[in-house]
Amino acid sequence: MAEVHLDCLGEACPVPLIKTQNKLNQLNVGDILIVEIDHSCAMKNVPEWARKEGYPVEIEEIEEGHWYIYIEKNK
Amino acid sequence: MEQPQASLKSRVHTVTAKPSVKKKNQLGYGIALLAAIILFGVFLSNIKAPLAIRWMLGIALGFVLQRSRFCFTAATRDPFLTGSTSLLRAVLIAIMIATVGFAAIQYNAFSAGKPVPGNISPVGIHTIIGGIIFGIGAVIAGGCASGTLMRVGEAYIMNMIALVFFIAGSALGAYHFGWWKANVIKNAPSIFLPNVLGWPLAFFGQLVLLFALYWLALWWDYRKAE
């Protein structure tokens, strides 16, 4: 079970979402993707997309305006 | 929400920057800002009452835009990119509400025999070309006009750069507009739907069309989810 970090700092939406989609495709089932973002818009569409796909999602604000989105590729 | 296993982040080991550092409490800043907003509003109302109303409307609009992540760019982009239409449906509801309000104001003026207020502009091929150019720019800049302003307020540096060119582009556009108006737009007709279709058909037709689009957006969202 790998943990993969994806650096999307400084990227405006929709770039973080596209990167997340591409990265998640490359991962194996059971891996956890940690997306680092600082764009509040990506805070909406990345978790929304992942939840819709049926992946477990968690969000953590590491510091002001800097978030980690945890996505588990469970299938 | 019950989870069968430990939470995702507790199972992650490679995150070293745990948010152990206590976040700054921003309540003081918030109260100070609110006081400043009210004071400036009072100051404006002493000059001219409508100024204070505009000030408050602007603040309220910005607040709602920021908190709701309302974004016209995402509203038209996400249906194609992610299949999500939640923002598009919000925009459609906003247009429906605006339709009712605008129709009331315009019909009032119309029945009183006054000129109908509102920006009724010539429509033509230039509308479509302009829309495409604006759309490309908005997606690259990460926000349309309101979205850019809102994110400048969030201190997102990319949108500050976008704002500089947004202002430069608007100024250039306004400077050149006379030429376009004289050479490209001059033959385009200004169409005010109630004049063409009559008031009932224009008003209810627009609402029905918007409801149909809403339903279509809903269907698109659920179809994508399967």
ipTM for the assembly = 0.72
Q: Which of A23-27, B10-14, B193-197 has the lowest mean pLDDT?
A: B10-14
Please say if A13 is a catalytic residue: yes
Q: Radius of gyration of chain A from Cα atoms?
A: 11
pLDDT tens-digit series, residues B169-191? 899 989 988 888 888 777 778 88
**Could you say which of A6, A13, A15, A27 is catalytic?**
A13
A12 chain-B contacts, CB cut-off 8 A: 141-143, 156, 158-159
* Residue A27 distance to chain B (closest CA, Å): 16
State pTM to two decimals: 0.76
pLDDT at B172: 92
Distance CA B210, CA A37 (A): 35
Q: Name which of A39, A52, A61 is nearest B156 (Cβ-Cβ).
A: A39
Taking CA atoms, B175 is separated from A25, B47, B184, in Å, by 48, 31, 15
pLDDT at B3: 46
pLDDT tens-digit series, residues A11-70? 777 788 888 888 888 888 888 888 998 887 788 888 888 888 888 898 888 887 788 899
Closest-CA residue to A47 (of A65, A67, A62): A67
pLDDT at B2: 43
Q: Radius of gyration of chain B from Cα atoms?
A: 23
Quote the tokens at residue B113.
């025999």
Taking CA atoms, B108 is separated from B104, B112, B203, in Å, by 6, 6, 14
Q: What is the largest CA-CA distance in chain A?
A: 32
CB within 8 Å: B8 and A63: no
Distance CA B12, CA A65 (A): 21
